Structure 1
Amino acid sequence: MRSRRFQQVDVFTATPYLGNPLAVVLDGSGLTPQQMQAFTDWTNLSEATFLLPPEHPQADYRVRIFCPGRELPFAGHPTLGSCHAWLGAGGRPKGGSIVQECGVGLVRIRRDDASGRLAFAAPPLRKSSPLPDAEVERIARGLGIPRADIAAHAWCDNGPNWRGILLRDAGQVLALRPDPAVLAGLDVGVIGPRGKVGVIGPRAAGDDCAFEVRAFFPGNHGMAEDPVTGSLNAALAQWLIGAGLAPERYVAAQGTALGRAGRVHVERMADGEIWIGGHSVTCISGEVQL
């Protein structure tokens, strides 16, 4: 074991402790995948990342992303949080944008100096067709809702194997009480429009967000819920904007049901590329023995 630089970053929020925390080991050199997995499981966070020297000549750094029980080829909040930590530790990009190397290949990240947000270019979907009918029925049972309440559905797989479910309003999304036994083994993302219908209180008239999002996935102890999920929001945006179910620019809220206030900024550019952005803030900085 040796001391390695470490940060714990809160992602998709400008206010500490209201987003999705990420453990970042700034020097992962020499660690085995088993050691990375063991440390990730110990943190009890949704993900941990390990920064490494790049192997691709265009990349600024390489990252390995782990969640409890498995390694991920890509994930959104670890991408933004790792980039935030890398820049904060003195990282300097080779070009105008930052290029991250990970399991899905190269991911471009840009900085907005005016807002302070980072954003990544959404990787292409691996699957994008509607879900099988039997799986939709199972998801409806697992979410405790009638099948008819599901307005639309699709594979939203950009590395993590998300299944996207669109409900009719944010109130339905926030009221969900998923059944872990029925949903066992599934990664399910649920989204519902925010606005006058289903939003309680003063936010109903002038909400800053277009959608409420929740993400459920298998954890170490049954079904878990992710506070804020960049990969899911990226895939949902590609699906919904492409299908004409969402505007080309919007903000999604996630984490409300967990007492968080995550904000995910979505924008489709003129060339059709979708960017997913948010703030990050460092909450812990120091060293870890690994």
Structure 2
Amino acid sequence: MTEPLYELAHLGHAELLTPVYDQSLAFLIEVYGLTLVTESGGSAYLRGWGDHDLTTLKLTSADHAGLGHVGWRAVSPQALERRVAALQERGVAGDWIDGDVGHGKAYTFRVPSGQRMEIYYESEKYQAPAGQQSYLPNQPQTSVGRGVGAARIDHINVLAHDVVSVRGFMSETLGFKLREHLVPPGQDEAGAWMSLMNKAHDLAITREPTTTAGRLHHLAYAVENREDVLRAADVFCELGASIEFGPAKHSRTQGFFLYVLEPGGNRIEVFSGGIHIFAPDWEPVLWTTEGQGRSTAWGLDVPVTFHSHATPVVP
């Protein structure tokens, strides 16, 4: 067994691109329930009420929807330097940047599937202003929010033509652990679910159906429990957001889920639960079908758009 790496801590932030900036921002605040931290240079910086870092989502105006970049936080400055060295030793071209709102210097690079990612350590902690403080000192912000009330950034799903090679890269250079994977009979691997510590997944890699690279399937924020996912379904319907898929329960990860498209076209998820993995010698679970032939855990059919739509949209 290869000794596992524990040098990246968690998904720190993501950047979404949108061609309808004002509408996407209004949706993320009023419907999804994120809090606006600041706006600068054509971007908005947002957070979930349970995020301890200053900001976890950067929304940027662009001519198309999609993923700007993903940020992963290292466990220490030394771990950051070691992971950069591992990337460089593998021949990955990258650059140091000074940082962005909420975090310090970062090393930015592209993974084999084309998405831009960065790793960093220095991160600014959120200090709630008067009126947004929680009565609980171990909570960064009051949980009494707007709309869905998304609590914290949870995971991201990116597309890749070769799932196996990309998950191998993420494991060997950055320390992601394979938790579950899907290999339909007679087909190439269709999906891999990976985590850094003990979550069900921080990163999902699923098969890209087009010749395009670097696309986003979805970004997920967590809520506290499955009842909050059911409440989110009512909130979306009351506020005019069309539900694409769910509420239901995933077979893999065992998470409760609900998917919508924000106005710019990016798919976002409301997620709750998921298995926790504490064994250091966890054996990846191999799936050959979607939920033993039931599609989702309870048998809800997957809509065609869930496999065909990603951003940027391919005509």
Higher helix share: 1
Query: Fold-level match, TM-score > 0.5?
Result: no
TM-score (norm 1): 0.29
Q: Which has the higher contact order (CA 8 A, sep 6+)?
A: 1
TM-score (norm 2): 0.27
